[in-house]
Amino acid sequence: MKNMRFFMWRHALGLFLVFAILSFIPVLSQEPPSKLVSTDWLEKNLSKENLRIIDVRGSIQDYWQGHIPQAVYFNPEAMRLADGGVPVKLTPSEALAIMLGKMGVNEKTMVMVYAEQGDFKAPYLIWALDYLGHSSAAILDGGFTKWQKEGRPVTQDYPKINPVRYTLPSKLNQEVRATLEEVKELVSGGGGVLFDVRPAQMYTGEKGFWKRNGHIKGAINHFWGEDLKDDGTWKSKEDLKAAYEKLGATLDKLIIVSCGQGQMSAHAYFTLKHVLGYPKVKNYDGGFNEWSNIDGLPVDTGLGESSPGGEVTTSDGEKLLKEHCTACHSLDRVDKAKKDKAGWEKTVNQMIGNGAKLNDAERQAVIDYLSSR
């Protein structure tokens, strides 16, 4: 009798362990393989519990016309608010927590974010979640554009969501957000790398909307869009690492990324922090929006640190074209082509993708030359 009870107890314990392991497997499968996931992974995991898909495309009309099943729409402008007179900075954490809760997201929810192809709004939300200490979040590589082109499921139905409470941590993650004082310290004392990831013409001051155009003194220009392939997916880690290392980014340095208002720089933040694994990366969401409006803070124009070979102008574009374009096209073919500036920009990006060695300023010079003919 004693042996029988022991056998039954051991059998019950074995069954309990089996069921416990089986019930744990779906939980494990909910976690994405990385912060950047494929369309294939998301389609296979659409029905997983505790997964919230968030659509942050720029227009609600795009969402109405079609979105990924179970995706909830989040107006990207709701993530930003005036702060101390500065027009747009990250919305206060308390407000973010309320909005996340309304979308059915609590601090343990796995969040999957997507926007249009090659856009910076999804990385901005990931950065905001990092600031809240919410690590279980990822971006759909290639965005909705890639998802739709591949013929994956699309719906016009709204998800059924029960609001929940999002509990903020006792301390926000200041290691991912740069303040004005931190940028001042880096500019005056060094000790790190400051990237300005806006287009070259905004960096040089040729274009802009601010009280003073140009860039923060000492900032190095690296256009955020250069981190992506033509289809809007991220380039290989090897290519990205080589590009950033060429500009002085190393694992031991503090890296602060900036742009006009923290959105483009959130894209570079995501690339450096989550794709490449750099440990000390901060997004300055005050950006040039804040810096340029404070009299006395140094602003430079021209190419600054981005091109050690001196200023590159439109007139240099023809020479650069002859040096770099003949590898994949004849110049006669280029001369006969009729395109607008957007078309030439795509062509030059393809040249770079095929191996043309152009920095951001040289790239812009070639585009300007081709567009001006």
Is 142 contained in some domain? yes
H-assigned helices in the chain: 2-30, 39-44, 60-65, 93-102, 121-131, 143-149, 180-189, 200-204, 237-246, 264-270, 287-291, 317-324, 331-336, 341-353, 360-372
Same domain, 276 and 189: yes
Which residues of the chain are modeled with pLDDT < 70? 1-32, 304-316, 319, 322-336, 352-361
- Residue-level pLDDT at 17: 46
Q: Which residue has the tokens 């933040």?
A: 269
Select from 250, 266, 300 the last residue of a domain.
300
Same domain, 236 and 324: no
Same domain, 68 and 159: yes
- Residue-level pLDDT at 364: 77
Q: What is the DSSP letter of 272?
A: I
Is 223 contained in some domain? yes
Tell me the catalytic residues. 259
- Residue-level pLDDT at 136: 95
Same domain, 320 and 294: no
Is 116 contained in some domain? yes
Select from 173, 207, 227 the last residue of a domain.
173
Is 307 contained in some domain? no
Rounded to a whole number of angstroms, the distance between the first and last alpha carbons of the chain is 98
Whether the CA torsion 174, 177, 179, 185 is positive or negative: it is positive
- Residue-level pLDDT at 327: 46
- Residue-level pLDDT at 326: 47
- Residue-level pLDDT at 324: 60
Is 9 contained in some domain? no
Is 97 contained in some domain? yes
Domain at 162, CATH number: 3.40.250.10
Question: How many domains does the chain contain in total?
Answer: 3
Q: Tens digits of per-residue pLDDT, 307-358? A: 333 445 555 677 677 666 644 455 556 666 777 777 777 777 777 656 566 6
Same domain, 254 and 363: no
Is 36 contained in some domain? yes
Domain at 331, CATH number: 1.10.760.10
- Residue-level pLDDT at 357: 60
Same domain, 50 and 119: yes
Same domain, 88 and 199: no
Phi/psi for 4 (5° steps) reads -65, -45
Select from 138, 173, 208 the last residue of a domain.
173
Same domain, 123 and 151: yes
Task: Give the whole-angstrom CA distance, residue 249 versus residue 246.
Answer: 7
Same domain, 72 and 114: yes
Is 258 contained in some domain? yes
Same domain, 34 and 144: yes
- Residue-level pLDDT at 21: 43
Structural domain range at position 349: 314-372
The two tokens of residue 207 are 């274009």
- Residue-level pLDDT at 367: 82
Same domain, 363 and 274: no
Same domain, 148 and 32: yes
The predicted model scores a pTM of 0.76
